[in-house]
Structure 1
Amino acid sequence: MATAELGAGGFAGRQALLRLMAWLSPAFPVGGFSYSAGFESAVVEGHVVDGDAVEAWLQMLMSDGGLRNDAILLSEAHRCQKEGRALGVLIALATALAGSAERHAEITRLGEAFVKAAAAWPHPVIDALAGPVPYSVAVGAVASAHGIDRLDALAAFLHAQVSQYVSVAIRLGVIGQTRGVAILAISESLILDAAASFSELGLDDLGSATVIADTLSMRHETQYSRLFQS
């Protein structure tokens, strides 16, 4: 089908989809493969030992932990950009919520790398995100600036994060590729339900009940041998 036959709305929607796919692809140069958000310590210390445990860990993070908070921050960044509100206060809050020095370095390095790479699609939002900026905030603001639906951005972001954890589990030898793909398939409904729920939440809903996961992220800083930076 020729581009002209798609219509303005159809073309814009497909263009937004392509951008979202590019930005959250494992090939996008943010360096996400270097980090595990403390998941490596969960494996080393025996909290995650097989595929069932990987699934349970991911569900916990999405319902009560860091993935939930990241999604809420992304959603709020999307709103701020869409409504023309400044992002400075949100950036400061998201940065302060990092539970450890490694997590702080992870989210800000990923965010800066994301903004730098996303500058290939010029937009004034890039200037508003100069300097250290948490990854979730950067993704939400840039997605909003380019007309990407908030629900779509949330679902794609959560899927990318789950995929990263699965990749970490494979590289650490906890699961194989076949089980990893199965976990991604099983996670689809969870991700879609979570995206729909988190899109309605605001900053007052931020919070975490995953004390062990947060503590393991701190312990990773002094772990003797490790593959990942966090």
Structure 2
Amino acid sequence: MARTHMTGTLTTTAIPTAMIETLRLMAWLSPTYPVGAFAYSHGLEWAVEAGHVADEAGIAAWLADVLERGAGRNDMILAGNAHAAAEAADRDALAAVNALALALAPSRELRLETSQQGRSFLDATLAAWPCPRLSDIAEALPGETAYPVALGAAAAAHGMDRGATLAAYGLAFVQNLVSAALRVAPIGQAAGTRIVAALGPRVGALAEEVDGLGLDALGSATLRLDLGSFRHETQYSRIFRS
């Protein structure tokens, strides 16, 4: 990085594009980004309440299934297709991906989870990282916006690599659920860190597997989670919105 000592300001002319994109992804998917991710557990709170996950091994297995057989995989496919549509400046295709993403949410809570985060992400990114292509995307997605669609489209608007975006999204998905587990399950931070470390390589492999897949590849096999999300709506004691 070049530094101007007389003014104390920094210039970005010497920073490789790949590094800038990596830092941008880290910022977008940081827990501090104002999307409200901390408020959602994607059904994990119900699973803990019902006794389906009660220790580190159980949570790791549950999250692996959600990642590879449920919303994690689907979201990465949706993000990839949103990226392709935005890259091609195809508003109709982007709107169609978003409509499908919202329709795939099996419950009211899970639809709220993706649509509230997606809308918040798009608004925050447009305010902090504005560019003409992102403005066009915001016009094409004026209402409810699924989170992976917003991320994939925003990454394309800034010319960011699709594969790296999918991998980063997948890891953030896992990390958010591990954070939720630390608040509702009897595991500590060391266990949570081990779970993230164990699932990290699987996130990378999944990102490579789904990169380039079309919408026909969507599908899930997490029926217990889907049904549990309905039960969470009337769960007596809860701290998460999903």
- TM bracket, shorter-chain basis: over 0.9
Say whether residues 1:23 and 2:28 are aligned partners: yes
TM normalised by structure 1 equals 0.94
Q: 1:212 to 1:126 in 2, by over 3 A?
A: same
The residue type equivalent to 2:116 in the other structure is R
Q: 1:116 to 1:4 in 2, by over 3 A?
A: closer
Say whether residues 1:131 and 2:139 are aligned partners: no
1:4 CA drift (Å):
7.0
Say whether residues 1:105 and 2:112 are aligned partners: yes
Structure 2 regions of 5+ residues with no counterpart? 3-10
1:155 CA drift (Å):
0.8
The residue type equivalent to 1:161 in the other structure is F
SS in structure 2 at match of 1:222: coil
The residue type equivalent to 2:103 in the other structure is A
Say whether residues 1:50 and 2:58 are aligned partners: no
Match of 1:67 among 72, 77, 102: 72
Contact 2:77–2:218 at 8 Å: present in 1 too?
A: yes
1:13 CA drift (Å):
2.1
The residue type equivalent to 2:194 in the other structure is A
The residue type equivalent to 1:182 in the other structure is R
Match of 1:76 among 75, 81, 86: 81
What is the aligned partner in structure 2 of residue 93 from structure 1? 100
Contact 2:48–2:185 at 8 Å: present in 1 too?
A: no
2 CA distance for matches of 1:131 and 1:5? 37
Match of 2:43 among 38, 42, 47: 38
Contact 2:55–2:185 at 8 Å: present in 1 too?
A: no
Aligned length, in residue pairs: 227
What is the aligned partner in structure 2 of residue 204 from structure 1? 216
1:140 CA drift (Å):
0.5
Structure 1 residues 81-101: Cα deviation after superposition (integer angstroms, max 9, x where no partner): 112212111111111111001
1:169 CA drift (Å):
0.7
The residue type equivalent to 2:104 in the other structure is L
1 CA distance for matches of 2:102 and 2:124? 20
Larger-gyration structure (1/2): 2
**Percent identity, aligned pairs only?**
46
2 CA distance for matches of 1:209 and 1:134? 20
Structure 1 regions of 5+ residues with no counterpart? none
What is the aligned partner in structure 1 of residue 130 from structure 2? 122
Contact 2:67–2:174 at 8 Å: present in 1 too?
A: no
CA RMSD of superposed structures (Å): 1.4
Contact 1:115–1:129 at 8 Å: present in 2 too?
A: no
What is the aligned partner in structure 2 of residue 189 from structure 1? 201
What is the aligned partner in structure 2 of residue 173 from structure 1? 185
Match of 2:16 among 11, 15, 36: 11
1 CA distance for matches of 2:12 and 2:22? 18
1 CA distance for matches of 2:204 and 2:17? 23
Q: 1:4 to 1:63 in 2, by over 3 A?
A: closer
